[in-house]
Amino acid sequence: MTLTRELAEWSHEQKCEKAVESLGKNGFTAVYCRSGREALDHIVREATGAQTVGFGGSLSVVDLRVADRLKELGKELLIHGVPGLALEERLAIMRRQLTCDLFLAGANAVTLSGVLVNIDATGNRAASMFFGPKKVILVAGRNKLVDGDAAAAVKRVKEWASPPNAKRLNFNTPCARTGFCSDCNSPDRICRITTVIDRKPRLTDVHVLVVNEELGL
């Protein structure tokens, strides 16, 4: 490893640990994972007592190949993004995710002060993060960390996450064509619901895994 790379890795580690410390002070169960493999192992352990596992459509979770492991363990996977589902079928799965045993999703942004910021189009993912499921695990790669306030986190999401997600989902938005947010009024706009979770919700067991790898968008 070059000296430049070594110092960059040290810097990433410090930021990850700072975020974990702050999340812990804000009441979350915060875990520093040195790798995606550590994050996967944590999720599998926490899923031991769960029968139904909801997936919030996170590329970070997809990157970890969590679904494959949990399917092998006999869990019922609630995944609304399976190709070929009719709208009513998708909605039925989304509603079941609200009361599942374990809900898995990514965080769009995590501030170093321990605040979670997410932007949704429908709201099913964001809603399941703070009330309903028995346990929630949110995965945040080091690329999701923001050294700033909630407004800076929102800026990060709209600049780096929303345009490629709109493109991935084949939505007809300006950002899906240009790669830049224009605060559009498109019918396909995905930036419709912004949530800021600055403390652990009172009745929801929320784990945040801060992973020292780039995961998701």
pLDDT at 20: 98
Q: What is the pLDDT of residues 20-69, one digit of tens each?
A: 999 999 999 999 999 999 999 999 999 999 999 999 999 999 999 999 99
For β-strands 116-120 and 193-197, DSSP reports them as antiparallel
pLDDT at 141: 98
Q: Which amino acid is at 68?
A: D
User: What confidence category does residue 124 fall into, taking pLDDT thresholds of 50, 70 and 90?
Assistant: very high
d(CA 200, CA 48): 23
d(CA 168, CA 53): 24
Task: Calculate mean pLDDT across residues 145-167.
Answer: 97
pLDDT at 1: 85
d(CA 110, CA 26): 12
- Beta bridge partners of residue 55, listed in sequence order: 79, 104
pLDDT > 90: percent of the chain: 100
User: What confidence category does residue 206 fall into, taking pLDDT thresholds of 50, 70 and 90?
Assistant: very high
Q: Which amino acid is at 180?
A: F
d(CA 121, CA 24): 29
Task: Calculate mean pLDDT across residues 156-162.
Answer: 97
Above 90 in pLDDT, residue 2?
A: yes
Q: What is the largest CA-CA distance in the chain?
A: 54
Measured from the Cβ of residue 188, the count of other Cβ atoms closer than 10 Å reads 15
d(CA 82, CA 63): 16
Q: What is the pLDDT of residues 71-94, one digit of tens each?
A: 999 999 999 999 999 999 999 999
Supply the DSSP symbol for 142: G
Task: Calculate mean pLDDT across residues 99-120.
Answer: 98
> Would you identify the CATH topology of the domain 3-211?
Rossmann fold (3.40.50)
Domain ranges of the chain: 3-211
pLDDT at 161: 97
pLDDT at 148: 97
